[in-house]
């Protein structure tokens, strides 16, 4: 797939522009200066090592989280070139580390396939680091250069002979830039595990010296092992299917397996980059899957009086689509949507060819898959009337909307809020305390259906869920339309107890599985009502946590009166407005999907059919519980 490059030196390094703006506007390059951006630094350095692995030059990467929040990333690749660049007259290593868009990714001979196509990665990390040290072992010699906030502290130094090879980067994020410096090893683990799955045979070792933990990831099964990992807590209905196809410079890998679950878990990657927003390759896969299963089912007489839809053939499907192409064009809000128009047809053709052959050669498995999809199609037909009911109602007036919805007068969705409130009592307080101009209230009765264990026909017969769908206005599934959302803030407001947490989890499961774009757009929030009211004379102070309560008590002194709110219904309308609903005072927690794959796995563990993985999860995380209701 890749031309074998004998030499990788300064002639392969291309420079597009300088580095000046990075420290002024770091969020433009790494997304944020909070926790997300901090972890992004690690990914940028690791991506360089991964690119070496993709061209067959590296088979081991070591990542160390040091106790003082330094990070080490070491690989056994070819090593960054250190010779003098013919045009810029400085070491290629210094060029790569100090110039934006300097790297080997623009020279198609060096990296025909790479993830870090923009070439901004390691230089941005250097600019945003308090200090950085890079060591290169190449052609029998060892070189080192040190930097402070992107500025070289001297020339590249030759340390003499070595038997090793590769690049080691040690850096510490800059306190002048980042609001947090603590790394979450679990966050890094999830991404590094993902990279190990996507690069068959690559060994990735992560060592967390703070917690004295060391883990190694290496998967000879590649994305086939990835699917098995995702389906560990599900009941599979057949052996995994693996397709590997190539056309010119395009290489496609697909691993897929159907389970008894009702939701899909389909994830796509291009050059190791998770294409969260899909793109042309995913469209090609879905088109091929639907057509191929319909054709096979009709030919074998397994499909009668029904046409399988795209939703039908993806019910219970876990799939990884990994595409490797020379020139990916990314688009979308987060630049994670593939835009190359020719990929739709190429992926469609490759999947159709590979899947058709598999179905013909494995009739037993094929029958199980088709019958699963036919069962989904029948459930879809059974849900059609309820779905049509929701569609017909559209945007209705507040007097006729279901579920005692008290609508707001504002008709601009970007200025409108919908509170989903646990129980009639709290709903009543919220209705009285709200600002009617832009706040709508929908009281919910009891716990909604667990959609992780339910099919679409059962979901569409649930009155509480119908209320939510109708109030929001977007519909669900294949009829979902984000542009019809009547509110751009949908706020879940429940009691701060076990039942309230359970209701919140049920609602989040529903939104994640059937209205995921609401989460992706940042429309879903959690209200943060206070746990305590502390009174000292005429002074009233609300505390949201035990720590806040203790801190407040120290400040106001003993004798202070304490009221513990066990439920929202205990607050009068004025208190509810003052503490939880007034935009000037309230605290809202926005729900985001930082890692869709991990979110999918956790929802399955917590809300799925199998009890054992849930028990194991609870046992492993019991010590992390902060508030325990007994």
CATH number at residue 269: 3.30.230.10
Q: How far is CA 120 from CA 27, 30, 108, 145, 463, in A?
A: 13, 10, 17, 19, 51
Mean pLDDT of the chain: 87
Is 539 in the same domain as 525?
no
pLDDT at 82 over 60: yes
Mean pLDDT of 109-118: 53
Is 462 in the same domain as 441?
yes
| Range with lowest mean pLDDT among 121-130, 374-383, 591-600 | 591-600
Q: How many CB atoms lie within 10 A of CB 265?
A: 23
Mean pLDDT of 377-394: 68
Mean pLDDT of 203-231: 95
Out of 161, 190, 217, a domain closes at 217
Q: How many CB atoms lie within 10 A of CB 539?
A: 9
Q: What is the pLDDT of residue 446?
A: 82
Mean pLDDT of 477-485: 87
CATH of the domain at 428: 3.40.50.670
Q: What is the pLDDT of residue 628?
A: 55
Mean pLDDT of 493-506: 87
Is 272 in the same domain as 297?
yes
Catalytic residues: 422, 495, 497, 499
Is 322 in the same domain as 415?
no
- Determine how β-strand 129-138 pairs with β-strand 60-65: unpaired
Is 309 in the same domain as 432?
no
| Range with lowest mean pLDDT among 83-87, 240-244, 448-452, 616-620 | 616-620
Question: Where does the pLDDT of residue 627 fall: very low under 50, low under 70, confident under 90, or very high at 90 and above?
Answer: low
Beta bridge partners of 338: 279, 330
Please check whether residue 493 lies inside any domain of the structure: yes
Q: What is the pLDDT of residue 533?
A: 84
Please check whether residue 611 lies inside any domain of the structure: no
pLDDT at 106 over 70: no
In angstroms, the CA 42 to CA 52 distance is 16
Please check whether residue 625 lies inside any domain of the structure: no
Is 202 in contact with 332 (CB distance < 8 Å)?
Answer: no
Mean pLDDT of 225-237: 94
Going along 26-77, which residue ranges are E strands? 60-65, 70-75
Q: How far is CA 552 from CA 403, 527, 537, 585, in A?
A: 40, 22, 14, 17
Q: What φ, ψ does residue 226 adopt, rounded to 5°?
A: -60, -50
In angstroms, the CA 511 to CA 514 distance is 5
Q: What is the pLDDT of residue 237?
A: 94
Is 261 in the same domain as 178?
no
Please check whether residue 602 lies inside any domain of the structure: no
Task: Print the domain residue range for 32.
Answer: 10-217
What's the number of CA atoms in the CB half-sphere (13 Å) around residue 563? 14
Q: How many CB atoms lie within 10 A of CB 307?
A: 11
Q: Which of 46, 380, 384, 337 is nearest to 183 (CA)?
A: 46
What's the number of CA atoms in the CB half-sphere (13 Å) around residue 528? 13
Task: Tell me the two tokens of residue 523.
Answer: 């429309």
Question: Where does the pLDDT of residue 395 fall: very low under 50, low under 70, confident under 90, or very high at 90 and above?
Answer: very low
In angstroms, the CA 578 to CA 63 distance is 47
Is 123 in the same domain as 178?
yes
Mean pLDDT of 39-57: 92
Q: How far is CA 283 from CA 259, 266, 268, in A?
A: 22, 12, 11
Query: Into how many domains does the chain fold?
Result: 4
Residue-wise pLDDT for 407-443, tens only, equals: 999 999 999 999 999 888 889 999 999 999 999 999 9
Please check whether residue 283 lies inside any domain of the structure: yes
For residues 585 and 199, which has the higher predicted lDDT (pLDDT)?
A: 199
Question: Where does the pLDDT of residue 196 fall: very low under 50, low under 70, confident under 90, or very high at 90 and above?
Answer: very high
Is 558 in the same domain as 425?
no
| Range with lowest mean pLDDT among 4-18, 83-97, 413-427 | 4-18
Mean pLDDT of 472-493: 91
pLDDT above 70 as % of the chain: 89
Q: What is the pLDDT of residue 293?
A: 97
pLDDT at 228 over 80: yes
Q: How many CB atoms lie within 10 A of CB 155?
A: 11
Question: Where does the pLDDT of residue 604 fall: very low under 50, low under 70, confident under 90, or very high at 90 and above?
Answer: confident
Is 433 in the same domain as 340?
no
Is 474 in the same domain as 543?
no
Out of 348, 379, 410, a domain closes at 379
For the four alpha carbons of 362, 363, 364 and 365, in that order, the dihedral sign comes to positive
Mean pLDDT of 573-587: 91
Range with the largest mean pLDDT of 275-284, 325-334, 497-506, 533-542: 275-284
For residues 456 and 13, which has the higher predicted lDDT (pLDDT)?
A: 456
Please check whether residue 322 lies inside any domain of the structure: yes
Q: What is the pLDDT of residue 396?
A: 36
pLDDT at 597 over 70: yes
Is 49 in the same domain as 130?
yes
Please check whether residue 3 lies inside any domain of the structure: no
What's the number of CA atoms in the CB half-sphere (13 Å) around residue 628? 8
Is 394 in contact with 471 (CB distance < 8 Å)?
Answer: no
537: Cβ–Cβ under 8 A, 6 or more apart, which residues?
A: none
Out of 217, 240, 261, a domain closes at 217
Please check whether residue 483 lies inside any domain of the structure: yes
Mean pLDDT of 306-312: 92
pLDDT at 280 over 90: yes
Q: DSSP assignment, residue 577?
A: I
Q: What is the pLDDT of residue 416?
A: 97
pLDDT above 90 as % of the chain: 57
CATH of the domain at 170: 3.30.565.10
In angstroms, the CA 464 to CA 435 distance is 24
Is 51 in the same domain as 129?
yes
| Range with lowest mean pLDDT among 16-20, 406-410, 485-489 | 16-20
């Amino acid at each position: 797939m890749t031309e074998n490059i004998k030499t990788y030196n300064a002639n392969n390094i291309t420079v597009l522009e300088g580095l000046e703006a990075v420290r002024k506007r770091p969020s433009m390059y790494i997304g944020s200066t909070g926790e997300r951006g901090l972890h992004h630094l690690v990914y940028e350095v690791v991506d360089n090592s991964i690119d070496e692995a993709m061209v067959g030059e590296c088979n081991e990467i070591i990542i160390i989280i040091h106790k003082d929040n330094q990070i080490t990333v070491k690989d056994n690749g070819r090593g960054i070139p250190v010779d003098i660049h013919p045009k810029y007259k400085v070491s290629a290593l210094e060029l790569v580390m100090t110039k934006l868009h300097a790297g080997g990714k623009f020279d198609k001979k060096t990296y025909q396939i790479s993830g870090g196509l923009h070439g901004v990665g390691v230089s941005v990390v250097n600019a945003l680091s308090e200090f950085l040290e890079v060591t290169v072992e190449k052609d029998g010699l060892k070189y080192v250069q040190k930097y402070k906030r992107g500025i070289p502290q001297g020339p590249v130094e030759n340390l003499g002979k070595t038997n090793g090879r590769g690049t080691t980067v040690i850096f510490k994020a800059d306190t002048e830039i980042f609001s947090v410096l603590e790394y979450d090893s679990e966050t890094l683990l999830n991404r590094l595990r993902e990279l190990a799955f996507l690069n068959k045979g690559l060994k990735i070792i992560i060592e967390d010296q703070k917690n004295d933990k060391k883990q190694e990831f290496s998967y000879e099964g590649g994305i086939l092992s990835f699917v098995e990992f995702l389906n560990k807590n599900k009941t599979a209905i057949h052996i995994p299917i693996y397709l590997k196809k190539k056309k010119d410079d395009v290489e496609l890998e697909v691993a897929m397996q159907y389970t008894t679950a009702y939701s899909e878990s389909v994830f796509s990657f291009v050059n190791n980059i998770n294409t969260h927003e899909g793109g042309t390759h995913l469209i090609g896969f879905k088109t091929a899957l639907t057509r191929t299963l319909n054709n096979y089912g009709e030919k074998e007489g397994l499909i009668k009086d029904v046409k399988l839809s795209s939703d039908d053939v993806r019910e219970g499907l876990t799939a990884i689509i990994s595409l490797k192409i020379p020139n990916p064009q990314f688009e979308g809000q987060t630049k994670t949507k593939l835009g190359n128009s020719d990929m739709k047809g190429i992926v469609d053709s490759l999947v159709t060819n590979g899947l058709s052959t598999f179905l013909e050669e494995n009739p037993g498995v094929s029958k199980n898959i088709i019958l699963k999809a036919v069962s989904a199609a029948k459930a879809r037909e059974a849900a059609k009337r309820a779905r049509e009911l929701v569609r017909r109602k559209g945007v209705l007036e507040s007097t006729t909307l279901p579920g005692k919805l008290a609508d707001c007068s504002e008709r601009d969705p970007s200025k409108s809020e919908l509170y989903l409130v646990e129980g009639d009592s709290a709903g009543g307080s919220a209705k009285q305390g709200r600002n009617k101009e832009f706040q709508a209230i929908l009281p919910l009765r009891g716990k909604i259906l667990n959609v992780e264990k339910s099919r679409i026909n059962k979901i569409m017969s649930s009155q509480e869920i119908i209320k939510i769908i109708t109030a929001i206005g977007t519909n669900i599934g294949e009829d979902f339309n984000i542009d019809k959302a009547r509110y751009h803030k949908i706020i879940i407001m429940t009691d701060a107890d076990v039942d309230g947490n359970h209701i919140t989890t049920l609602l989040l499961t529903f939104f994640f599985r059937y209205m995921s774009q609401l989460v992706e757009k940042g429309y879903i929030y959690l209200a943060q009502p206070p746990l305590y009211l502390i009174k000292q004379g005429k002074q009233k102070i609300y505390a949201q946590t035990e720590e806040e309560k203790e801190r407040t008590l120290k400040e106001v002194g003993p004798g202070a009166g304490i009221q513990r709110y066990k439920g929202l219904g205990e607050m009068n309308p004025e208190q509810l407005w003052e503490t939880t609903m007034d935009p000037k005072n309230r605290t809202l927690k926005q729900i985001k999907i930082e890692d869709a794959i991990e979110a999918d796995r956790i929802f399955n563990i917590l809300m799925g059919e199998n009890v054992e993985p849930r028990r194991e999860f609870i046992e492993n995380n019991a010590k992390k519980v902060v508030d325990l209701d007994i």
